[in-house]
Structure 1
């Protein structure tokens, strides 16, 4: 059986060594580094099942980086570990797309439970009302098994909205994910939204709501 690959980034080498050893002993393949250097290349080469990330890595802000990483690899869960315990930091991490935020100091048993949960094969799928989204395959499937392949941009957008269920996602946040700092195409975004509304219309509980002048909110 293929080992689940974990990319762990934390500039605390003492903690990093302990955690990496514990993950390896638990049966995971762990790649540990102390900085965000060449992170894009590392993710492309390693294709990890989980990104374990500190919030403050040297002078870099892991949360700011997370949003771009989610655009690069929307199907890879991000789990933050940090000594920053402020609720505002936790909220900021979750808004950036993190699946969880583990506060330091933590027990290794607790960390391993999180890792097991977010590397399980079932976690790769996102439930949206009567639909199931598989970001890795870009498949949106109905309860009856009918599947539709989404474009990469449609999949990124739906994953982002679903990860912020019942919350407003601003146009700026969406544009950052879809165009990664390049000039955004407003008409393309409008088209993506229209497509998603059409795809999801089979479940009357789902509402992809426009928040005028701000962004969008996916409710179900």
Structure 2
């Protein structure tokens, strides 16, 4: 299963490494670079799902190069990050083609929320796991041409989150943040959702939905 690909360009190496590790831990594939050098061929070869672009990169400006990037990749959303909070700079960035302008310092959760919002089309693509396919658009769990289960919207979102973090632990806090939008998740309700997904996936013995006590859950494949 393909991961969402993020091209992250920022000349702050410390921040870049922290953000890269955090995004990878959240299930993204990240290509990080510290300059705009060869940015066009990188975009064409990598075909990222989103570009996270610093405004000031060395002596260059990410906003100024955006129109050129939009010519070669008009469909790829560009999310600007910057410590500059001047309104005119934000307007300039959005007029250049940016989808949003995130002000530094920012929380990783805030960044991932923007990435998730602007790569929503990716999540609508069918996702393969073992013998199953999750048709996210219609919330259908398929096995070949057979519909195994018409999932509820929440079941579909929860399964997608687990699939995007295949073989990694998804914490309860992450589920609350991403699926309950920061609200409190009822423990028994979440346990019930997990039990239902475990039942649906039981037809493929290579899959295992594991509960990590007091931590979260992990979807793995043998």
Deviations 1:144-166 (A, max 9, x none): 43253221211111111111111
Rg larger in 1 or in 2? 2
Deviations 1:67-113 (A, max 9, x none): 445776884459xxxxxxxxxxxxxxxxxxxxxxxxxxxxxxxxxxx
TM-fit CA distance, 1:11:
4.4
Rate the CA distance shift 1:204–1:152 in 2: closer, same or farther, 3 A.
same
Q: 2:110 aligns with which of 58, 65, 69?
A: 65
Rate the CA distance shift 1:58–1:145 in 2: closer, same or farther, 3 A.
same
Structure-to-structure mapping, 1:54-203, within 5 angstroms: 57-61=103-107, 63-69=108-114, 75-77=120-122, 124-146=125-147, 148-203=149-204
Q: TM-score, normalised by structure 1?
A: 0.57
Q: Report the more deviating stretch, 207-216 or 24-33.
A: 24-33
**2:208 paired residue number:** 207
* C-alpha distance in structure 2 between counterparts of 1:157 and 1:70, whole Å: 18
Rate the CA distance shift 1:17–1:71 in 2: closer, same or farther, 3 A.
closer
* C-alpha distance in structure 2 between counterparts of 1:150 and 1:211, whole Å: 24
Deviations 1:122-147 (A, max 9, x none): x8221111111122332211124325
1:28 equivalent to 2:74? Answer: yes
* C-alpha distance in structure 2 between counterparts of 1:157 and 1:73, whole Å: 19
Q: How many residues align?
A: 155
Q: TM-score, normalised by structure 2?
A: 0.56
RMSD: 3.6
* Structure 1: gaps of 5 or more residues: 1-5, 38-50, 79-122
